């Protein structure tokens, strides 16, 4: 699984499925893109791949420890229908 943040394709250091969403470890430009989208309305956040493919996500938690930033993302609705 990967993330789409705004118009950016983001590859987390790691990502794992949790109940209702995912936890991803982000750094550098990936983390900056997520913070921009979360706090400044810089675009939507979606999961790419897996059973949550194209699902919109909301940021539920950001935990910074040492050199790692773990972000908890929860599903914010169904995947958009493609027509």
Q: Tell me the pLDDT tens digit for each residue of 36-82.
A: 988 887 678 999 888 888 889 999 999 998 878 999 999 988 877 77
Q: How confident is the model at residue 22 (pLDDT cuts 50, 70, 90)?
A: very high
pLDDT value, residue 43? 79
In the three-class reduction of DSSP (H, G, I as helix; E, B as strand; rest coil), residue 20 is classed as coil
Confidence of residue 20 (pLDDT cuts 50, 70, 90): very high
**2, 17 contact by CB (below 8 A):** no
| Domain boundaries, given as residue ranges, for the chain | 2-75
The distance of Cα 76 from the centroid of its chain, to the nearest Å, equals 11
- Strands of 2-5's sheet in order across: 8-10, 2-5, 45-48
Lookup result for tokens 């590859």: 11
User: pTM for the full model?
Assistant: 0.87
């Amino acid at each position: 699984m990967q993330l789409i943040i705004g118009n950016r394709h983001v590859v987390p250091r790691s990502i794992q499925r949790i109940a209702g969403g995912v936890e991803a470890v982000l750094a550098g430009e990936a983390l900056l893109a997520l913070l921009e989208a979360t706090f400044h309305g810089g675009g939507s956040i979606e999961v790419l791949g897996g059973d949550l493919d194209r699902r919109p996500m909301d940021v539920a938690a950001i935990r910074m420890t040492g050199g790692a930033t773990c972000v908890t993302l929860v599903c914010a609705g169904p995947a958009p229908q493609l027509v």
